[in-house]
Amino acid sequence: MGDISCSNGISNGNGVHGKVFPLNGYRKSCWYEEEIEENLRWSFALISILHTGASPYQDIALLDTKPFGKALVIDGKLQSAETDEFIYHESLVHPALLHHPNPSTIFIMGGGEGSTAREILRHNTAKKVIMCDIDEEVVEFCKSYLIVNRDAFCDPRLELVINDARAELENREESYDVIIGDLADPIEGGPCYKLYTKSFYDFTVKPRLNQGGIFVTQAGPAGIFSHTEVFSCIYNTLKQVFKYVVPYSAHIPSFADTWGWVMASDTPFVLSVEELDLRMKQRIKGENRYLDGKTFSSASTLSKAVRNSLDNETHVYTEGTARFIYGHGSAYKKAQE
């Protein structure tokens, strides 16, 4: 639900549908605004609009923002910001790869931005990484404009596949040590909500994991008030499929909320803080900016209110009983003359 407005009165006056009016060069007091809930909006100042475009699946914008640097917006939802995307991507990737004894084959569902692949390819155990994104135009957009991920896209260990992740997993005969869900949020009218269902986890994801394999997915807002949208039921749904399930969260400043991930396996997660730190030193090229053993221990220690809510969650995510975060698919319209 993105909306851009300027102090000179150029604004669509309609944040719900998020139509964007073009900015001809720099103007003072230009703002990006996103409707997070019906009575809550999040906005920040813009320097400029770097690029807008549209694919058959999604509308895309790259904004240069004052507080968060370059920001990628897809279908009116902020996906990633230059200054803090490392929090999201380190949290998504490293706990699963570190808990696995030797993660050599990894499948990414989504991840067109390239940041998830970038973090995986820092691991010296990673021999083959499949990145499967349905939207070639988003991938090409990110290749062109997100300089930080260019090396990842050129790494020979990365195989880029343009396809629906569900169809790709179902049609492949090979299995993987780790499968990562770096998908768009389950938004009503959006394309991804079916990839959060029990049937998908049970009949598509789990059969494609090797013995001891680990699945991890981003799971939407996980704040004290927002976690009941989808985080708690994604956690409960994975509990119906895997023996061991670990929810964890971190604050993402540009998202204006705490964000959640859920990691699942039929093998227990038993590494101590010290063992996680040791594996980081042994396996990962360069230093993490956010995640270490203590940080993951803290991230997986949820607040009392959220723990109680997850413990009492009974909803199982299916196509017929889907839950969605606030918003609508294809809400962000590319700039029009």
Q: Cβ(259)–Cβ(293) under 8 Å?
A: no
Catalytic residues: 182
**Among the listed residues 215, 232, 224, 238, the one whose alpha carbon sits nearest the alpha carbon of residue 311:** 232
Q: Cβ(76)–Cβ(65) under 8 Å?
A: no
- In terms of DSSP bridges, do strands 176-182 and 105-110 run parallel, antiparallel, or are they unpaired? parallel
Q: Cβ(261)–Cβ(219) under 8 Å?
A: yes
CA 242/CA 222 separation, integer angstroms: 21
As given in the structure block, the two tokens for residue 304 are: 């009392």
As given in the structure block, the two tokens for residue 149 are: 């991920």
As given in the structure block, the two tokens for residue 36 are: 């997070």
CA 223/CA 124 separation, integer angstroms: 34
If you count them, how many residues does the chain have?
A: 337
CA 275/CA 289 separation, integer angstroms: 18
Q: Cβ(196)–Cβ(237) under 8 Å?
A: yes
Which SS3 state, helix, strand or coil, does residue 89 take?
helix
Where do the DSSP E strands lie in the chain? 2-6, 30-37, 40-54, 59-65, 69-74, 77-81, 105-110, 128-133, 158-162, 176-182, 187-188, 209-221, 244-252, 257-265, 325-328
